Amino acid sequence: MARLGFPEGFLWGAATAAHQVEGQNLNSDWWEFEHAEQTPCVEPSGDACDSWHRWPADMDLVSSLGLGAYRFSVEWSRIEPEEGEWSSATLEHYRQMCAGCHERAVVPVVTFNHFTIPRWLARRGGWEAPGAADAFARFCERTVSHIGDLVGWGCTINEPNIVSFMGYRFGIFPPAVADEGRSRKVSITLCNAHRMAVNALRSGPGDFPVGLTLSMADYQGAPGGEETLEAIRREAEDVFLEATEGDDFVGVQTYTRMRVGPDGPLRPEPGVARTQMGYEFWPQAIEATVRRATEMTGGLPVLVTENGIGTDDDAQRIEFVSGALEGVRRCIDDGIAVLGYFYWSLLDNFEWVLGYGPTFGLVEVDRHSFERRPKPSASWLGSVSRANGPEV
């Protein structure tokens, strides 16, 4: 066995998102969506992992495992519960979280929007509301003025492509619109919101790298599928990658590959194992997407802000991450600036419409007592972090 060394200073971390772990996120569009009569959600988020109260325990886990960074999100609907009404107590809560990271020598990587928006904005039309991008920029400005000096890295919008496609094209996330034209416009709005947010985050205290995080797949053309692939990928990824011009980094988030034939995406290939999400088990995907993100952004540094697997077989999780890290290392060997790797997720948490079914966590969470039970993969990734690279 040999140790696959990573560059000095490489960030090893785990990620979560406010709505998926905090619990009782009542004032968000998702909460309302989960409780709507026709909701596609299999269950509501409820108390989630109760991380609103238990974040110190989560952070203790991150640091005791040996990870050096924690990616979490701040919740807009709590910070600005009604338009223009700001909650100082909530801002202070997130400031304490950033400080809590520093106390534990953990780098806080803060996401300013992870899928949820406040109900007041949803009522006005969500990302289609006039002034939505400005409202988001104002929120970023206000929040960063309170926590900016403690932020390690700033991510503006998590997976704007998923927000646009799942929310406005496929009708699976709020506001459940299924309209290509509207989704296209929302994509443009989200790109503008990102650009405005970059300026807002840079205007405040602190001097941290800023970027967006994008959901990317390892697109593979089946014979005759190349043109269709290009057309799909252009709208799903490229328009967003183009919006990163002037950013400090690009966050790559990858779970699987996507094969495309002449008529569109193909079903998983027979013989390839599938995860709880129904995705093909394809750890190699991250290498392809990191390379593509680098190419498309003219060489922006990459942070793998999410990579992971929903599985109840923890050994399969370790196999997945090992395979992924070999690919990341090949990218680094080729001179690509990959600066960190964040596993999704620290905790088993609320997986959006699929509720608590899929288990992505390094740590299991008891649904009643909220007790955290680290899985073997948690100490494994911790030891990878401590040694700055896995054994292969």
Q: Which chain residues interact with ligand BGC by CB under 6 A? A: 17, 20, 158-159, 162, 215, 253, 306, 344, 351, 360
Asked if the bond preceding 345 is cis, omega within 30° of 0, the reply is yes
Shortest spacing between CB 224 and ligand BGC, in angstroms: 29
Shortest spacing between CB 161 and ligand BGC, in angstroms: 10
Beta bridge partners of 213: 158, 251
Name the residue nearer to ligand BGC (CB basis): 316 or 388.
316
What does DSSP say about strands 249-261 and 153-158: parallel, antiparallel, or unpaired? unpaired
Name the residue nearer to ligand BGC (CB basis): 4 or 74.
74
Show Cβ contacts of residue 179 under 8 Å, excluding neighbours closer than 6 positions: 168, 169
Q: Which two tokens stand for residue 13?
A: 């971390």
Nearest 5°: CA angle at 149, between 148 and 155? 40
Q: DSSP state, 82? A: B
Name the residue nearer to ligand BGC (CB basis): 318 or 346.
346
Name the residue nearer to ligand BGC (CB basis): 6 or 352.
352
**For residue 138, which of 120, 161, 159, 123 has the smallest C-alpha distance?**
120
Shortest spacing between CB 253 and ligand BGC, in angstroms: 6
Shortest spacing between CB 105 and ligand BGC, in angstroms: 26
Name the residue nearer to ligand BGC (CB basis): 72 or 360.
360
String of b and e for 193-227 (b: at least 16 CB within 10 Å)? Answer: bbbbbbebbbebebebbbbbbbbbbbbbbeeebee
Contact 31, 118 (CB under 8 A): no
Name the residue nearer to ligand BGC (CB basis): 90 or 215.
215
Shortest spacing between CB 116 and ligand BGC, in angstroms: 10
Shortest spacing between CB 132 and ligand BGC, in angstroms: 20
d(CA 124, CA 163): 17
Please give the backbone phi and psi of residue 346, each rounded to the nearest 5 degrees, phi first: -60, -45
Whole-number CA gyration radius for the chain: 19
Name the residue nearer to ligand BGC (CB basis): 158 or 189.
158
Shortest spacing between CB 205 and ligand BGC, in angstroms: 27
Please give the backbone phi and psi of residue 28, each rounded to the nearest 5 degrees, phi first: -100, 160
